[in-house]
Amino acid sequence: MKKTTVYVAAFAVAALAPLGAEGLKSDLAETVETLAALTETAAQYPKHTAALEAAYAGLRLKGQVKGVKVKNVTEDAITVSWKALKGKDAAGLTGYRVYWADKNLPTTVYSALADVGAGETSWTWQHKSLRPFYFKVSARYENGAETELSDAAVSAVKARERYRLETLDRGLVGFKTEAGVFLSWRLLASEVTGYGDSGLTGTNFAVYRGGTLLATVTDSTNYLDRTGSIAETYSVVALDARGKEIPSSKASYKIPTEKNYIDIPLQIPPVDALPADAVIKSQLAYDYAPEDISIGDADGDGQYEYYVRWFPSNFRDVSGRGYTGKT
C-alpha cells in the first residue's frame, strides 16, 4: 500500500504541474485528502503531506531572470549578461538558458541557444553581428522546471556583409493613378536596421511635392499623394536618427505629362550576312525579336541598364542543318 501511495502522489504532482504555482497550490489540500484515504493508518498522513509540500516547493515557478542586456558587441561576437538569482529563487538552480531570435514580435518563437552554469551571469555568442539579434534568458532547476523567459535585449550591428553591392541611387519613380500620384523608391542596404510585420525597417523619409512637405514616411518606401496631379515634381529625402534631413540623399522625379509610363528605346542588333552556301535560302533573310531581359548597373552611374537577349527569326535546333543568326 505504501508503494501505491507514493506512486499516486508522484502522479498527482506531475499531473498538476502544468497548472502552475497557483493552480497547484489551490488543489494541494484536496489532493492530500485523497491520498490520505489511501494510507493504512492516520499516522502516515503527515508523512505524505510533507512529501507533497516538498514536491510542490520544487515545482513552484521561480522569479523571472532580471537585468538581461547585451553587454558587448564586436564584429564577430555578442555578449549577453544578466543578474544572478538569489535567495529562494536560487534554491535548486542548475543554470541558465540563453534564447535568441532575429525579431521580437508578439508571435516570435525564441530558440534555445546555449546552457550555462548556475554561477555564470554572462555568455558570449561567437557570431557576426550583421543585423540586430534579440536575446532572452531563463533559469533552470534540478526538477526540470524552467522559468518564463526574461524581457528581450537587442544587440547592435557592428559587422557588415562583404557582398559586392551595386551603388544604386534612390530610384524614385511616380505615376498617376485613379487614387492620386503613387511614389516608390529604394531603401538602400546601408539604411536597413531590421524588419517587422510589414517588412524591412530602416531609415525614415520626408516626401515633398515641389517645395511643400507632404509627409514623413516611417514604415515603407512608397507614398500615395491623393491630391497630386501630372506635371508635379516630387522629392524624397532620407532622415537621420535625430529626424534631420540628409541633403546628399535627396532624389527628385517629375511625373510624365503625356503618358503614364517610360519609354525605353531598344538597340536592335545588326543582321549579319550568312554564308552564301546556306543550305536553306530562306535563312539568308532574318531579323531579331527581344526575348529575355536582365538588369544591372554596368557603368556605375547608380541606375540600372536593361540587357536584352535578341533571338534570330531563323533560329533552328542543332539537330537540323543550316545557319542561324547570332543570339
Q: Read off the pLDDT band of 10 (50, 70, 90).
A: very low
Q: Are 142 and 122 found together in one domain?
A: yes
Residue 43: per-residue pLDDT: 56
Residue 33: per-residue pLDDT: 58
Residue 1: per-residue pLDDT: 41
| 161-175 pLDDT, tens digit each | 666 778 889 999 998
User: Which of 41-45, 138-142, 207-211, 224-228 has the lowest average pLDDT?
Assistant: 41-45
Backbone phi, psi, residue 91, to 5°: -65, 125
Under 8 Å between Cβ of 207 and 185: no
Residue 47: per-residue pLDDT: 61
Nearest of 171, 218, 223 to residue 199 by alpha carbon: 218
Residue 273: per-residue pLDDT: 66
Nearest of 29, 26, 35 to residue 6 by alpha carbon: 35
Residue 35: per-residue pLDDT: 52
Contact residues for 297 (Cβ-Cβ < 8 A; gap 6+): 166, 167, 168, 303, 304, 305
pTM for the full predicted model: 0.48
Element (H, E) at 248: none
Q: Are 94 and 147 found together in one domain?
A: yes
State which residues form the domain around 49.
Answer: 2-59
Higher pLDDT, 276 or 86: 86
Higher pLDDT, 22 or 318: 318
Q: Are 179 and 250 found together in one domain?
A: yes
Say whether pLDDT at 284 is over 70.
no
Domain boundary among 206, 229, 254: 254
| 218-264 pLDDT, tens digit each | 988 999 999 988 788 999 999 998 999 999 899 998 887 767 777 88
Domain boundary among 201, 220, 254: 254
Element (H, E) at 20: helix 20-36
Q: Are 124 and 193 found together in one domain?
A: no
Backbone phi, psi, residue 310, to 5°: -95, 130
Q: Are 29 and 92 found together in one domain?
A: no
First to last CA, the chain: 91
| 95-139 pLDDT, tens digit each | 999 999 999 998 999 999 999 999 999 999 999 888 899 999 999
Give me the number of domains the chain comprises. 4
Domain assignment present for residue 16? The answer is yes
Q: Are 85 and 146 found together in one domain?
A: yes
With b for 16 or more beta-carbon neighbours within 10 A and e for fewer, the 249-268 pattern comes to: bebebebeeeeeeeeeeeee
Nearest of 3, 89, 85 to residue 39 by alpha carbon: 3
Domain boundary among 154, 188, 210: 154
State whether the Cα torsion 6-7-10-15 is positive or negative: negative
- As a residue count, the chain comes to 327
Q: What is the distance between the alpha carbons of residues 324 and 317, in angstroms, rounded to a whole number?
A: 9
